[in-house]
């Protein structure tokens, strides 16, 4: 009898392991940078073109939050942008592989996402906006990257691997979901989970409520006033980044950092195993490949975010009791609306 029960237990364990593997592969797909580097460098510039549209037209918000893109069930979107009494949004669709512009008066245009130069994409994008009577002046140069070749002249970046772009979006969807769960634990000022097209990363930031020392760090092809606004107050930021060719950390990774960085943050007990502190970049990193192969990827990411936050908040003497929900807090039934 014990032998039969043992065999049943082993069979169940095997099935559960296979189910976890299948769920993980579906939700957290493989995405090595060297597999899609030409596409990533092209797509990075395309997202900057779209993001600069929002920068040109949307009213200013604290920390430049009005310029970001947001993860959707199809890709990335600007959300509604005001324009001469109308609104419009621009969205990357990584399922049907197109870039669509929709207006609040019912008009729509789209161009395909396919292998084409940045110069060609830029020209067709501006023409598409003009066909909707939207005329916008963009700063036509990439930011936050060493290559500042103007978009109109960029025929060097012209790759689009649809499968890789789709996998990147799937990772963003799941990272966004986990970041929102992490954000829900915090009562203080916090950014949304949003996509920064300058660095090509998804991020969520918490604030202590205190002013920070003026930011004087490096800013690659980005005005100092932008960075001073972004880091005007003490903050702790987490994110997911697919890596960049030539960067100190070139592979996809989750990250966490604090500004200003309190003493001892670099040696804090950040979990899970495999997380490491990069002394040049002054950030904690959790390699994406460790997450996607973990028994519970969501838990691995949440453990990383929580332990890095606790290190920053404790060492930085944040008012944690006033900024956080009680551990184990659950929304009341009236808020959850879970009654029949």
Helices 33-57 and 118-131, packing angle to 10 deg: 30
Residue 310 forms part of a structural domain: yes
The predicted-structure confidence for 161-198, as pLDDT tens digits, reads as follows: 999 999 999 999 999 999 999 999 999 999 999 999 99
pLDDT at position 212: 98
Q: Which of 153, 183, 208 is the last residue of a domain?
A: 153
DSSP 59: P
pLDDT at position 287: 98
Task: Looking at the structure, tell me whether residues 175 and 110 fall in a common domain.
Answer: no
Kindly tell me if the per-residue pLDDT of 19 is higher than 70. no
Task: Looking at the structure, tell me whether residues 120 and 142 fall in a common domain.
Answer: yes
Residue 292 forms part of a structural domain: yes
pLDDT at position 217: 83
Mean predicted confidence (pLDDT) in 293-318: 98
Q: What percentage of the chain reaches a pLDDT higher than 70? A: 89
Q: How confident is the model at residue 335 (pLDDT cuts 50, 70, 90)?
A: low
Q: pTM score, two decimals?
A: 0.90
Task: Looking at the structure, tell me whether residues 38 and 142 fall in a common domain.
Answer: yes
Residue 109 forms part of a structural domain: yes
Q: How confident is the model at residue 12 (pLDDT cuts 50, 70, 90)?
A: low
pLDDT at position 332: 63
Kindly tell me if the per-residue pLDDT of 68 is higher than 60. yes
pLDDT at position 199: 95
pLDDT at position 248: 84
Task: Looking at the structure, tell me whether residues 142 and 187 fall in a common domain.
Answer: no
Q: Total structural domains in the chain?
A: 2
- Listed in sequence order, the residues at least 6 apart from 270 whose beta carbon sits closer than 8 Å to its beta carbon are 256, 277, 284, 304, 307, 308, 311
- The closest of 86, 83, 89 to 69, measured between CA atoms, is 89
Kindly tell me if the per-residue pLDDT of 130 is higher than 70. yes
Kindly tell me if the per-residue pLDDT of 131 is higher than 50. yes
Sheet holding 233-241, edge to edge: 194-196, 201-211, 233-241, 253-259, 283-287, 276-278
Range of lowest pLDDT (100-109, 165-174, 179-188, 216-225): 216-225
Task: Looking at the structure, tell me whether residues 314 and 171 fall in a common domain.
Answer: yes
Q: What is the mean pLDDT of the chain?
A: 92
Task: Looking at the structure, tell me whether residues 176 and 318 fall in a common domain.
Answer: yes
Task: Looking at the structure, tell me whether residues 202 and 86 fall in a common domain.
Answer: no
Residue 19 forms part of a structural domain: no
pLDDT at position 246: 83
Task: Looking at the structure, tell me whether residues 149 and 170 fall in a common domain.
Answer: no
pLDDT at position 15: 46
Structural domain of 190: 162-323
């Amino acid at each position: 009898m014990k032998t039969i029960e043992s065999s049943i237990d082993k069979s169940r364990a095997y099935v559960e392991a296979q189910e976890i593997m299948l769920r993980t592969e579906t939700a957290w797909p493989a995405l090595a940078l060297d597999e899609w580097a030409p596409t990533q460098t092209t797509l990075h510039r395309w997202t900057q073109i779209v993001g600069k549209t929002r920068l040109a037209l949307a009213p200013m918000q604290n920390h430049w939050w009005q310029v970001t893109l947001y993860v959707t069930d199809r890709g990335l979107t600007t959300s509604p942008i005001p324009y001469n009494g109308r609104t419009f949004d621009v969205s990357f669709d990584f399922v049907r592989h197109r870039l669509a512009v929709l207006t609040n008066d019912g008009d729509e245009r789209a161009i395909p996402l396919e292998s084409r130069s940045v110069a060609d994409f830029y020209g067709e994008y501006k023409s598409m906006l003009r066909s909707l009577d939207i005329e916008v002046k963009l700063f036509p140069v990439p930011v936050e990257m060493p290559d500042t070749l103007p978009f109109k002249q960029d025929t060097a970046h012209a790759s689009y691997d649809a499968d890789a772009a789709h996998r990147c979006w799937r990772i963003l969807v799941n990272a966004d979901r986990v970041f929102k769960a992490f954000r829900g634990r915090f009562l203080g000022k916090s950014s949304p989970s949003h996509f920064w097209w300058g660095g090509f990363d998804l991020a969520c930031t918490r604030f202590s409520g205190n002013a920070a020392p003026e930011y004087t760090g490096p800013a690659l092809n980005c005005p100092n006033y932008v960075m001073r606004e972004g880091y005007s107050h003490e903050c702790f930021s987490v994110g997911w980044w697919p890596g960049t060719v030539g960067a100190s950390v070139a592979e996809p990774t989750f990250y966490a950092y604090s500004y200003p960085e309190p003493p001892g943050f670099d040696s804090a007990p950040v979990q899970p195993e495999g997380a490491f502190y990069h002394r040049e970049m002054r950030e904690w990193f959790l390699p994406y490949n460790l997450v996607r192969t973990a028994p519970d990827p969501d838990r691995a990411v949440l453990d990383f975010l929580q332990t890095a936050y606790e290190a920053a908040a404790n060492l930085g003497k944040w008012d944690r009791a006033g900024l956080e929900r009680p551990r184990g807090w659950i929304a009341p039934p009236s808020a959850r609306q879970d009654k029949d």
